[in-house]
Structure 1
Amino acid sequence: MDGSRLGLMDGLRLDGHTAVVTGGAGAIGTAITRDLTALGAQVIVADLTPTAPDLMPRFLPLDLRDPDSIEHFCAQTGEGVDILIHNAGVSVVEPFATSDPAAWDLMWQVNLRGPMLLTKLLLPSMTRRGWGRLVFISSDGARAGSGGEGAYAATKAGLFGLAKSLAREVARDGITANVVCPGPTDTPMLRRVSDQHPGLVDKLTRTIPLRRLGTPEDVAGLVAYLCTPRAAYITGQTLSVSGGVTMQ
């Protein structure tokens, strides 16, 4: 093969970089971990419990509801983390007028406060290294609205403002910050919701221009690219992976 053609793929490796993937034991988190590992990154899977310990490169427990757990986690990771993927999230689907404020607190803690605290603790080491990648997994429900997910959308929408502000603050330190918004994606979380609402998956699929649900791999591919040196000029962006449901 022509060597000049091979050169076109430069900048897509992550050798020598260390990534943290929160919610890394879930479906999308596992796919992200797999892709980052394939690109050469050392990946730390952060979650409450490992679902498949033998398939995880390195697992450290993390409870985003608990500030002490976040501090302990960061003390264990050390100074080497320069890629942080905020993938963990929790959703309670219910009409807002009858929703439980206790559920709001849970979603606020996991979906927004936890990512803020974790970023605050890991960001200084990226600044010292002069290189870093922050990727926040939000939701198309937060970007476009979603019935029954008012509190969830509110907490996930907070990631937009956080990412854009960080993108401006740390750009000169060689750090980028972007948001990825999955649309309807075939995960165990969606299947649990669909069990409570028969016909939901079929209804969702009919609204998608590509006429299929997304897969965890669809999301992971974009996340992995945003972490590479090739994506160094992309920051402060919100990108949907929705099969065309959201076009902006």
Structure 2
Amino acid sequence: MPEPCPVTPIHEVFSQRKSIVAVSFIAAFLFLIIVRLTNEVNFPLILNCFGQTSVKWIPFSYTQRRTLRTHYGYINVKTQEPLQLDCGLCAIVSNSGQMAAQKVGTEIDQSSCIWRMNNAPTKGYEEDVGKRTTIRVVSHTSVPLLLKNPDYFFREANSTIYVIWGPFRNMRKDGNGIVYNMLKKTVDSYPSAKIYVTTEKRMSYCDAVFKEETGKDRSNPIPQCM
């Protein structure tokens, strides 16, 4: 006589179903977390459960979870608004020829903010110095070097923030600032260019730091012999 089929008690059936539902819920929850960390997605139906009808879930990346800070010492030439920026891990890339053949471009590009100086090139040197540029700090004397290739610096690389520093006599906004006038014409020709200049107060602060660190007064250079 064949053995009777095993019968699962009804309470065990409900228990198994609860376990399946619980595992399914956890899996779905983990899936939503992964999507949140890796993509920019709207979940209107889910958010409605929490009383929110339109909230955008932002990727949980290193750079996006930082709040922008306002830096009042740097003013946009076009909008006259202060610079808003916050950086986590920064890479300050030297202009030195010693960067050649170093092959650290990929490592540099992984930084949240990448700083370069004046017109230091990246095109053709990406393997050594990287290809991304967040900020270029440019001396007033180097502005003409940028203007020799304006299409590259202010159109092709228009995501870069340019911070121009120099003495007040060259940066004044009353029409007598030679460098400031050049920058004004540049933003008229390239409206999307992000060009900022240091305020007189910020420049005075930087000069004081330079003097304290080096013992030299940059704001009053020794006259050159003729």
TM over 0.5: no
TM-score by length of 1: 0.32
TM-score by length of 2: 0.35
| Higher RCO (CA < 8 A, seq sep 6+) | 1
Compare CA radii of gyration and give the structure with the larger one.
2
